[in-house]
Amino acid sequence: MSDAKQEWPLWEVFVRPKAGLDHKHCGSLHASDAKMAIQMAREVYTRRQEGTSVWVVRSSDITASDPADKDMYFDPMEDKVYRHPTFYELPDSVNHM
């Protein structure tokens, strides 16, 4: 595996724990194509009944924000507490806010 060109591409794996919940990112793996990636995801990430559905995405197809932009992108939200819906009185019957 010294030749970088022979490395299998990297895939990001998303597992849905049960129907109704979202697929959640749980890790990555190497596979030669999508079909193999799905099988390997099943082997590596659902061995303990973690999933009912698996998605795989080529890591290279993901566009990520630049860590260097962190200050500019995310820090301005620090002092905007009014964006959190914590100033409302909620009835007891609303459990999941």
Partner 1 sequence: MNMAVVTETLQLRLTPPVRYVLRWADTALIHAQRLAEWCGHGPVLEEDIALTNMALDLVGQARGLLTLAGQLEAQGRATPFDEDALAFWRDERDYLNLTLVEQPMRRSSAHSPGGDFADTVLRNLLLASWFKQGWKGLLTSSDAELAAVAAKALKEARYHQQHAADWVVRLGDGSDESQQRMRAALLRAWPYTAEMFVDDAVDTAAAASGLGPARSALRAAWLAEVGQVLDEATLALPADPQSVSTGTQGVHSEHMGFILAEMQSLQRRFPGGVW
Residues lying near partner 1 in the complex (CB under 8 A): 8, 29-32, 35-36, 39-40, 43-44, 47
Enumerate residues 6+ apart whose C-beta is below 8 A from 80. Answer: none
Nearer to partner 1, 49 or 93 (CB): 49
As measured in angstroms, the least distance from the Cβ of 8 to partner 1 is 7
CB of 27 to partner 1, least distance (A): 11
**Residue 45 — φ and ψ, nearest 5°?**
-115, 0
Nearer to partner 1, 8 or 17 (CB): 8
- Residue 24 or 30: the one with the smaller Cβ distance to partner 1 is 30
Query: How many residues are present in the chain?
Result: 97
Query: What are residue 53's DSSP bridge partners?
Result: 16
57 neighbors 15 (Cβ within 8 angstroms): no
Instruction: Tell me the one-letter amino acid at 40.
Output: M
Closest contact distance (angstroms) between CB of 2 and partner 1 is 15
